[in-house]
Chains A and B, each alone.
Chain A
Amino acid sequence: LAKTTQPISMDSYEGQEVNITCSHNNIATNDYITWYQQFPSQGPRFIIQGYKTKVTNEVASLFIPADRKSSTLSLPRVSLSDTAVYYCLVGSPGGSYIPTFGRGTSLIVHP
């Protein structure tokens, strides 16, 4: 099971781009990288998932270098409502994989 390492916390201001990097040095060939967002007293919410290169959706982008040993979640123009904890998970969806959470990154967006 690939272990992930993220910064414990980050601060930003409204309108800025935020990049959160996750290290996963022992990622397996079949593993995908998935990011979740969690607000206080709510369950995690899927943000984005990728395998390699770059993935973009309506809320974020995910950059994955060729060696796949890390990944960067990019949040464009954050707002106060983006204040949350962000978790990076690595594994093969389905099968016997069990989503295991690390400590996550607590992002605080300031006015």
Chain B
Amino acid sequence: GAVVSQHPSWVICKSGTSVKIECRSLDFQATTMFWYRQFPKQSLMLMATSNEGSKATYEQGVEKDKFLINHASLTLSTLTVTSAHPEDSSFYICSAPDSRTGYGYTFGSGTRLTVV
């Protein structure tokens, strides 16, 4: 089946630094990528939708200048958390529609971000 490879799986960074998370579609083209954030014992919350070659669409309350999304190719979308703070510590997950199988969506394995 379709695979979305997400890296890194975990990262620890200092407050004020930036962290980049990558999601690659390995065997299909992802024109759209969804980015979610999940806090402990909570559900996935959609942050933004990225489309290849255009600006991302952010959900209400998500700072677009803080969470920079780039979708420069059909197989790569990145999320950069800029000037990270401890409250940004969370589990970040990407997802892409998989039109090949009809199952809908495939998810990355997630990135655990800890800001210290």
Q: Tell yes or no: B71 within 8 A of A by CB.
A: no
Q: Is the beta-carbon distance between A100 and B93 smaller than 8 angstroms?
A: no
Q: Is the beta-carbon distance between B97 and A94 smaller than 8 angstroms?
A: yes
The interface residues of chain A lying within 8 Å CB-to-CB of B108 are: 43
Q: Tell yes or no: A7 within 8 A of B by CB.
A: no
A29-41 vs B, Cβ < 8 Å mask (1 yes, 0 no):
0001010100001
Residues of B in contact (CB 8 Å), total: 26
A9-28 vs B, Cβ < 8 Å mask (1 yes, 0 no):
00000000000000000000
The interface residues of chain B lying within 8 Å CB-to-CB of A104 are: 43
Q: Tell yes or no: A98 within 8 A of B by CB.
A: yes
Which of A42, A46, A98 lies in contact with B110, CB distance below 8 A?
Answer: A42
Which of B4, B43, B103 lies in contact with A93, CB distance below 8 A?
Answer: B103
Residues of A in contact (CB 8 Å), total: 23
The interface residues of chain B lying within 8 Å CB-to-CB of A94 are: 97, 99, 104
Q: A46-B1, A46-B103 are in contact. List 13 more A-B contacts (CB 8 A).
A: A36-B107, A43-B107, A44-B93, A44-B107, A45-B107, A46-B104, A46-B106, A49-B103, A93-B97, A94-B97, A97-B104, A99-B34, A101-B43
Please report B residues at the A interface, Cβ cutoff 8 Å.
1, 4, 6, 34, 36, 43-46, 49, 91, 93-95, 97, 99, 102-110, 112
